[in-house]
Structure 1
Amino acid sequence: MSPSPARQRTAPLHEDRASKAVAVTVPGPEQQGVAASAATLDVPAVFTATDSSPRGLTTTEAAVRRDRYGLNELPGVGRGQVWRRLVAQFTDLFALVLLVSAAITFLAYWLGRPRDPATLQLALAILGVVLLNAGIGFAQEYSAERTAESLQGMVPHTCRVVRDGERRELSARELVPGDVVVLEAGDAVPADCRLVEAQEAAVNNAALTGESVPVARIAQAVPPGPPLEARNCVWMGTDLVAGTGKAVVLATGAGTEFGRIFRLTAAAPKRKTPLQRQVAVMARRVAGLALASGAVVFAVRAPSGQPFVDTFVFSMGVMVALVPEGLPATLSVSLAIGVRRMARRHALVKQLLAVEALGSTSVICTDKTGTLTQAEMTVVQLWASGVSHAVTGAGYAPFGEVTDAGSVRELLRAAALCSNARLVPPSGRDPWRVLGDTTEGALLVAARKAGLDPAEEEARTPRVAEHPFDSARKLMSTVHRDGDGTFFACVKGAPLELLARCDTVEREEVTVALTDAERGRVTAAANGMAGQGLRVLAVARRQVGGPRPPVGEAETGLTLLGLTAMYDPPRPEVRDAVDACRRAGIRIIMVTGDHPLTAEAVARRVGIVREPDPTVATGVQLDGLDDSCLDALLADSAELLLCRVSPEHKMRVVTALQRRGEVVAVTGDGANDAPALKHADIGVAMGASGTDVAREAAVMVLLDDSFASITTAVGLGRSVYRNIRKFLIYLFSHNIAELVPILAATFAGFPLVPITAVQILAIDLGSDVLPALALGAEPMEPDVMNSPPRPRHERLFSTSVMGRIVFLGGIQALGVCAVFFWHIHASGIPYADFTRNDLVYREAITMVQAGIVVSQFFNALAVRTVRQSIFRAGLLTNPWLLAAGGFGIGLMAIISYAPPLQAVFHTAPLAPADWAVLAAFGALLLIAEECRKWALRRLRALPKGGVG
Structure 2
Amino acid sequence: MMRPALDPSAPAGGKDGTAGGKDEPADAVPGRGPRPAEVPELAPGEVFAALDTSPRGLSAARARDLLERYGPNELPRARRRPVWRQLAAQFTDLFAVVLIVASGITFLAYGLQEPRDVGTLQLAVAILGVVLLNAGIGFAQEYSAERTAQALEAMVPHTCRVLRDGERLEVSTRDLVPGDVVVLEAGDAVPADCRVVEAHELSVNNAPLTGESNAVGRTADPVAAGAPLDARNCVFMGTDAVAGSGRAVVHATGAETEFGRIYRLAEAAPRQKTPLQIQVASMARRVAGAALAIGAVVFAVRLPTGQSVVTSFVFALGVMVAMVPEGLPATLSVSLAIGVRRMARRHALIKQLLAVEALGSTTVVCTDKTGTLTQAEMTVTQVWAGGPPHPVDGVGYAPSGEVADATPVRELLRVAGLCCNARLLPPGSPGGPERSRGPEGRERWRVLGDTTEGALLVVVAKAGMDLGAEEEAAPRVTEFPFDSDRKLMTTVHRTGAGYQACVKGAPGELVGRCTGVEWEGRRGPLTGEDRAAVAAAGDALAAQGLRVLAVARRELDSARPAQGEAESGLTLLGLVGMLDPPRPEVTDAVAACRRAGIRIVMVTGDHPLTGEAVARRVGIVRRPDPVVVTGARLDAMNDEALDALLAEPSELLLCRVSPEHKMRVVTAFQRRGEVVAVTGDGANDAPALKHADIGVAMGASGTDVAREAAAMVLLDDSFASIATAVRLGRAVYQNIRKFLVYLFSHNIGELVPILAATFAGFPLVPISAVQILAIDLGSDVLPALALGAEPPEPDVMDRPPRSRRERLFSAAVVGRILFLGGIQAVCVSAVFFWHIGSSGIPFDEFTKDTPVYREAITMVQAGIVLSQFFNALAVRTDRQSILKAGILSNPALLAAGGFGVALMVAISYAPPLQAVFHTAPLDAVDWAVLAGLGTLPLLADEARKAWLRRADPKGVPR
TM-score bracket for this pair, using the shorter chain length: over 0.9
Give a deviation string over 1:121-167, Cα, whole Å, max 9, x none: 11111111111111111110110011011112311122111122111
2:14 is the alignment partner of 1:25: no
2:642 is the alignment partner of 1:630: yes
2:487 paired residue number: 474
- d(CA) in 2 for partners of 1:351, 1:397: 36
Give a deviation string over 1:614-638, Cα, whole Å, max 9, x none: 1101000111111111111111142
2:763 to 723, 740, 751: 751
The letter of the residue matching 1:350 is: K
> 1:23 deviation in Å?
6.9
Give SS of 1:730's match.
helix
Give a deviation string over 1:92-122, Cα, whole Å, max 9, x none: 0000001110111111111111111111111
- d(CA) in 2 for partners of 1:481, 1:937: 82
- d(CA) in 1 for partners of 2:729, 2:344: 13
1:907 to 899, 916, 919: 919
- d(CA) in 1 for partners of 2:193, 2:47: 14
1:929 paired residue number: 941
1:465 paired residue number: 478
- d(CA) in 1 for partners of 2:107, 2:506: 83
**Retained in 2: the 8 A contact 1:36–1:230?**
no
Matches for 1:372-411 after TM superposition, within 5 Å: 372-411=373-412
- d(CA) in 2 for partners of 1:24, 1:479: 48
Give SS of 1:537's match.
strand
1:449 paired residue number: 462
- d(CA) in 1 for partners of 2:801, 2:633: 30
Give SS of 1:195's match.
strand
- d(CA) in 2 for partners of 1:274, 1:268: 18
Divergent runs of 4+, >4 A? 26-31
- d(CA) in 2 for partners of 1:334, 1:24: 60
1:492 paired residue number: 504
2:605 paired residue number: 593
- d(CA) in 2 for partners of 1:153, 1:522: 47
Of 836-845 and 709-718, the range deviating more from structure 2:
836-845
**Retained in 2: the 8 A contact 1:28–1:255?**
no
Of 50-59 and 503-512, the range deviating more from structure 2:
503-512
**Retained in 1: the 8 A contact 2:294–2:320?**
yes
> 1:943 deviation in Å?
3.4
**Retained in 1: the 8 A contact 2:19–2:54?**
no
> 1:79 deviation in Å?
1.0
Give a deviation string over 1:44-90, Cα, whole Å, max 9, x none: 22111221111111122111111111111111221121101110111
1:565 to 577, 583, 589: 577
1:651 paired residue number: 663
**Retained in 1: the 8 A contact 2:36–2:50?**
no
Give a deviation string over 1:298-325, Cα, whole Å, max 9, x none: 0000111101111110011000000000
**Retained in 2: the 8 A contact 1:733–1:809?**
yes
**Retained in 2: the 8 A contact 1:140–1:336?**
yes
2:533 is the alignment partner of 1:538: no
- d(CA) in 2 for partners of 1:599, 1:175: 38
Aligned residue-pair number: 926
1:420 paired residue number: 421
The letter of the residue matching 1:99 is: I
1:528 to 531, 540, 544: 540
Give SS of 2:90's match.
helix
1:174 paired residue number: 175
- d(CA) in 2 for partners of 1:817, 1:221: 88
Give SS of 1:177's match.
coil
> 1:386 deviation in Å?
3.5
1:119 paired residue number: 120
The letter of the residue matching 2:71 is: G
> 1:801 deviation in Å?
0.4
2:526 paired residue number: 514
1:840 paired residue number: 852
> 1:704 deviation in Å?
0.6
- d(CA) in 1 for partners of 2:879, 2:666: 37
**Retained in 2: the 8 A contact 1:651–1:675?**
yes
1:370 paired residue number: 371
The letter of the residue matching 1:325 is: E
Give SS of 1:25's match.
coil
> 1:24 deviation in Å?
6.9
**Retained in 1: the 8 A contact 2:32–2:253?**
no
- d(CA) in 1 for partners of 2:831, 2:731: 38
- d(CA) in 2 for partners of 1:202, 1:354: 39
**Retained in 2: the 8 A contact 1:24–1:37?**
no
The letter of the residue matching 1:474 is: K
2:90 paired residue number: 89
**Retained in 1: the 8 A contact 2:378–2:579?**
yes
- d(CA) in 2 for partners of 1:907, 1:885: 21
Give a deviation string over 1:215-263, Cα, whole Å, max 9, x none: 1110111111111000000111111111111111111110111111111
- d(CA) in 1 for partners of 2:191, 2:29: 15
**Retained in 2: the 8 A contact 1:265–1:675?**
yes
> 1:755 deviation in Å?
0.4
The letter of the residue matching 1:201 is: L
- d(CA) in 1 for partners of 2:954, 2:475: 75
- d(CA) in 1 for partners of 2:730, 2:213: 34
Matches for 1:677-692 after TM superposition, within 5 Å: 677-692=689-704
- d(CA) in 2 for partners of 1:442, 1:872: 54
- d(CA) in 2 for partners of 1:200, 1:30: 31
Give a deviation string over 1:422-466, Cα, whole Å, max 9, x none: 011122842111100000000000111111111111111100101
1:74 paired residue number: 75
**Retained in 2: the 8 A contact 1:14–1:44?**
no
Change in 2 beyond 3 A, CA 1:148/1:181 = same
The letter of the residue matching 1:647 is: P
> 1:703 deviation in Å?
0.5
2:318 is the alignment partner of 1:305: no
- d(CA) in 2 for partners of 1:14, 1:80: 45
1:807 paired residue number: 819
Give SS of 1:381's match.
strand
Give SS of 2:935's match.
helix
- d(CA) in 2 for partners of 1:471, 1:939: 69
1:430 paired residue number: 443
1:676 to 688, 692, 697: 688
1:360 paired residue number: 361
- d(CA) in 2 for partners of 1:922, 1:504: 92
**Retained in 1: the 8 A contact 2:364–2:599?**
yes
The letter of the residue matching 1:85 is: Q
**Retained in 1: the 8 A contact 2:391–2:403?**
yes
The letter of the residue matching 1:511 is: R
**Retained in 2: the 8 A contact 1:26–1:250?**
no
1:892 paired residue number: 904
- d(CA) in 1 for partners of 2:907, 2:686: 55
The letter of the residue matching 2:774 is: A
**Retained in 2: the 8 A contact 1:365–1:665?**
yes
1:663 to 652, 671, 675: 675
Matches for 1:269-348 after TM superposition, within 5 Å: 269-348=270-349
2:792 is the alignment partner of 1:791: no
- d(CA) in 1 for partners of 2:586, 2:187: 28
**Retained in 1: the 8 A contact 2:360–2:733?**
yes
1:251 paired residue number: 252
2:4 paired residue number: none
> 1:168 deviation in Å?
1.4
What TM-score do you get using the length of structure 1 for normalisation? 0.96
2:748 paired residue number: 736
The letter of the residue matching 1:47 is: F
- d(CA) in 2 for partners of 1:380, 1:764: 63
> 1:509 deviation in Å?
4.0
> 1:26 deviation in Å?
4.2
- d(CA) in 2 for partners of 1:408, 1:29: 58
Give SS of 1:476's match.
strand
Aligned-residue identity in percent: 72
- d(CA) in 2 for partners of 1:531, 1:555: 28
Structure 2 regions of 5+ residues with no counterpart?
A: 1-17, 430-441
**Retained in 2: the 8 A contact 1:14–1:45?**
no
1:860 paired residue number: 872
RMSD: 1.5
Give a deviation string over 1:323-369, Cα, whole Å, max 9, x none: 00000000000000000000000000111111001000000000000
**Retained in 1: the 8 A contact 2:31–2:70?**
no
Give SS of 2:238's match.
coil
Structure 1 regions of 5+ residues with no counterpart?
A: 1-12, 16-21
The letter of the residue matching 2:27 is: T
> 1:847 deviation in Å?
0.5
The letter of the residue matching 2:199 is: A
**Retained in 2: the 8 A contact 1:359–1:721?**
yes
